[in-house]
Amino acid sequence: MNSVFFRSTIALVLTLSWLASMRAETVLSSDLQEAVKDLADGTFPRLASESVKDAPVERLIRVMTGMGRPPLSRGDFEKYQDELAELTDAQGEVAELALYLRARLFQVHRIPRDHETAEALYRELGTRNPMSHWAQLGFVKLGLMRLFLSPKGIAEPERRSKAEAFLPMLVEPALKRDLHLQIGWAGLYFDWPLSEVIPHLKAADEVGGLMGMVPEDLVLQIAELSFRNGDTAVARAYFERFLQEFSTSDKRFNVEQRLVDVANEVALKEGVLR
Amino acid sequence: MMAKRRFPLILAVVASIYLGSVAWVLVHRPDSEDERVTVRIAHWQVEVGPSQGFAAVIKRFEELNPEIRVKQLIVPPVVYKQWLRANLAGEIAPEIVEYGVWLNGMTDVPVKYFQPLTEQLERPNPYNEGTPLESIPWLETFTDELSEQRLNSPEPGQYFAITLTRGSLRLFCNRELLREITGSEEIPKTMIEFRELCEKVATFGAARDRPLMPLAGSGFNAQFLMNTYLGGATSKLRVELDRDGLLSLRPLNILSSYREGRWSFQRPEIKAALQLLAELQQQMRPGYLQLGRDEAAREFLRGDALFIFSGTWDATSLRKEARFPISVGRCPQLTADDPVVGPNILGRFSDGSNTTGFGLSLTKSGQHRPEAIKFMQFLASYEGNSIFSEVSGWPPSVKEVPMRPEIAELLSPADGYSNGSGVFSGGGNCRALLERNLHLLARHDGGVDQLADALDEQMPAAVQADLQAAARDAWLSVLPQDSRIAALGLLLDGVDGAARVELRRERLEAGQTQSEARGMLIEVQLQSAQSVGTK
């Protein structure tokens, strides 16, 4: 009972903090707003020349424009990371975004990548304001790093638990979903027991909202892996859902045949039980 | 004196010529054309059909949109890749270009040079108003909802192309010749029947001292033939390698499973499949690998081959150019009692899905993108796609579009296993392996064992190169997204429709996380000790 009360209180506090962190903090001038819209569309804005009077958000947009044209030269990397380090000292969303982008610079833009510095920056972001969107996104990136960058020879349960440790910190459903999905998929590659993989895939599927081929893949994977794991009821339910939801899939024939296999397996089990 | 008298006359003539020219220019000035925006579209489809289909669609589009002119550029396939790369790099590429994920060495192109069409695809296509597809999101009007894009998009969740057609693999048959040889017009339905027919063809040709082959041969056609049967003949192995539970294989599965030593060309199932390929290649004339696609078509059109195995993209050309009636048959199926590969197959294999193709993308550097989008919307609308299909003879990519019976027969029902990528489909380097080594089957000192050994010798390097390319592509799509995601974050506070901005950011983040995890996973695979040798 106490545990339920404690968990509910924590969840309430986290949710309220998250909502509070979403308040508007950055007001852009119309010129800057146009520039940011261009960046969001993947095109590059023409910005006025640099000035010492530039507001932090303007400086941030300059760095973002540069980061949008990878790969970065060593000189650009140094310049942007210095700039972001200065912006990070402030407070509010610009500072949090700057800190996140600085972590990204070290994690993926720097050649060679510097994972240790990136991890420290993500952790700093998480300590400052764990409910900010950028800290939340940082937790997903940290989860990926634990999955794929853990030292050679690490025991698989340890790899899994290190990545899973970030899940309770994620309060944004879409980001939680993304990490569940990647943990599940990594588990397939690392040959984790299916009973440990399937719950992650189910959790990702339950949130929904995924794009491209992933929704179709997920339903199919839950069905097939459950079948392999001996759970014919779940397998049948998800195979049937696949046929219902993905009318244009070129794997419908495969799934129809698999449903026959499931039925045969069920009949066999029932025969044995009788 | 005479010269002086003539001078005014000459002057008058010159002046009248000048005035006449001015008047001609004024009268014949292409007034509307000068004002029109020109959208250019480039593709490599040189067959009979598609260019005529495009011309007809363009004519109708220009009637509906007199302010826009559309120019079609047909670039020969042999130079298309180089042409496209140069034009994209120089930022002078047409607004709309054809692109396919299988183009070797071009996987970086979509992210770098194409504009995603996702937002347009989520809304109804305005040109579908008043048709059965009215009010339906454009994406859902394609028969496969752009499955190839969903599968291969470098940014998961983003669509970089629309498609125009779909197709299948078929045996095109010289009906008169078949009747002459067998007394029937029945095209073999199984590989066992096909083998029997091949013997009859050999006897028929020998009796008449005629160079007659069952299959017209070229390296191009053989690639499709071999890959189709290789996939069909190893379908049980596919189940074994499908670690991810996707009921089919993806290129990355092929690469990683080979690298982990989970299969090699020494596997009995694969050797049996190679044996089948050896049989098939004996049904084509010697030296076929050196021949081009056109030469195979000519061999068939001359009546020197009973069948040509090809994609439905050749249907219109063959039908128009042949002086004999052509029947279209489905791929002879492998059966459980097949003496070569029978024990290794699950059942029928798919010889054509509803996956659409002939992908057209919007270039970022195009000068007239809004007008280009308009043309793409018309091209893949109910009306536009109907015109294209009717004139080109190619099956439509859009739902509900009516088809003539000879077009409809080019499509396969969903009655066979879709096996996904074949063992040579890991990437460009793996794809080149079969082409480079297939001759070993035909050499006097060659055979299945020699081919399998050569493939296993070269495969590790090809796998390594393809994995590296896949990792590079994954990171290429990850890096530019940071600034886009950050920009959407900043926009959230300052624009109307914050929910829509938030959804865009959420999708971009999800796509980036997927690409990033993919890149990291491939790097794990590249770092892991290679364990090829489990045979």
* B499 located within any domain: no
User: What is the SS3 string spanning A143-198?
Assistant: HHHHHHCCCCCCCHHHHHHHHHCCHHHCCCHHHHHHHHHHHHHHHHHCCCCHHHHH
Q: What's the number of domains chain B is made of?
A: 2
- Domain-terminating residue out of B405, B425, B445: B425
Task: Tell whether B47 and B173 lie within a shared domain.
Answer: no
Pair B97, B43: CB distance under 8 Å: yes
* B96 located within any domain: yes
Task: Please tell me which residue of chain A has the smallest CA distance to B244.
Answer: A188
* B523 located within any domain: no
* B525 located within any domain: no
Pair B448, B454: CB distance under 8 Å: no
Q: Is the pLDDT of residue A25 over 50?
A: no
Residue A148 has its nearest CB partner, among B493, B507, B520, at B520
* B441 located within any domain: no
Residue A211 has its nearest CB partner, among B507, B520, B527, at B507
Task: Tell whether B200 and B333 lie within a shared domain.
Answer: yes
Range of the domain at B345: 169-351+414-425
Pair A160, A183: CB distance under 8 Å: yes
- Looking at residue B495, what is its pLDDT? 61
B517–A24 CB contact, under 8 Å = no
- Looking at residue B535, what is its pLDDT? 35
* CATH classification of the domain holding B191: 3.40.190.10
* B383 located within any domain: yes
Q: Looking at chain A from residue 245 to 274, which residues have their Cβ under 8 Å from any Cβ of chain B? A: 248-255, 257-258
CA-based angle A12:A14:A17, to the nearest 5?
105
Largest CA distance in chain A: 84
| B164: its two tokens | 């125009």
Task: Tell whether B65 and B158 lie within a shared domain.
Answer: yes
Position B362, amino acid: L
Question: pLDDT tens digits for A83-109?
Answer: 999 999 877 889 999 999 999 999 999
* B489 located within any domain: no
Task: Tell whether B162 and B217 lie within a shared domain.
Answer: no
Query: Whose structure tokens read 């990545």?
Result: A163
A70 contact B CB<8A: yes
Task: Say what the ipTM of the complex is.
Answer: 0.89
Task: Tell whether B182 and B107 lie within a shared domain.
Answer: no
Q: CB B264: neighbour CB atoms within 10 A?
A: 18
Task: Tell whether B382 and B301 lie within a shared domain.
Answer: no
B494–A26 CB contact, under 8 Å = yes
Listed in sequence order, the residues at least 6 apart from B78 whose beta carbon sits closer than 8 Å to its beta carbon are: none
Question: pLDDT tens digits for B226-285?
Answer: 989 999 999 999 999 999 999 999 999 999 999 999 999 999 999 999 999 999 999 999
Task: Tell whether B38 and B90 lie within a shared domain.
Answer: yes
B405 contact A CB<8A: no
Task: Tell whether B215 and B306 lie within a shared domain.
Answer: yes
Q: CB B274: neighbour CB atoms within 10 A?
A: 26
A220–B246 CB contact, under 8 Å = yes
Per-residue pLDDT, averaged over A190-214, amounts to: 95
Task: Tell whether B239 and B322 lie within a shared domain.
Answer: yes
Q: CB B282: neighbour CB atoms within 10 A?
A: 15
d(CA B380, CA B142): 8
Q: CB B208: neighbour CB atoms within 10 A?
A: 10
CA separation, residue B355 to residues A165, B144, B166 (Å): 40, 5, 6
B418–A147 CB contact, under 8 Å = no
Q: Looking at chain B from residue 362 to 381, which residues have their Cβ under 8 Å from any Cβ of chain A? A: 364
Task: Tell whether B189 and B138 lie within a shared domain.
Answer: no
Task: Tell whether B204 and B325 lie within a shared domain.
Answer: yes
Nearest to A184 by CA among A153, A240, A226, A235: A226
Classify A130 as helix, strand or coil: coil
**Count of positions (residues) in chain A:** 274
What's the predicted TM-score (pTM) here? 0.86
Task: Tell whether B309 and B339 lie within a shared domain.
Answer: yes
pLDDT along chain B (535 residues), means of 10: 66 76 60 76 93 97 97 95 95 95 81 90 97 96 92 83 93 97 97 97 95 94 91 94 95 92 95 95 93 94 97 92 95 96 95 89 93 98 98 96 92 90 85 89 89 96 94 90 94 76 92 95 85 40
Q: How far is A4 from chain B (nearest CA, A)?
A: 31
Nearest to B429 by CA among B476, B477, B470: B470
* B472 located within any domain: no
Question: pLDDT tens digits for B114-137?
Answer: 999 998 999 999 999 999 999 999
DSSP conformational letter for B353: -
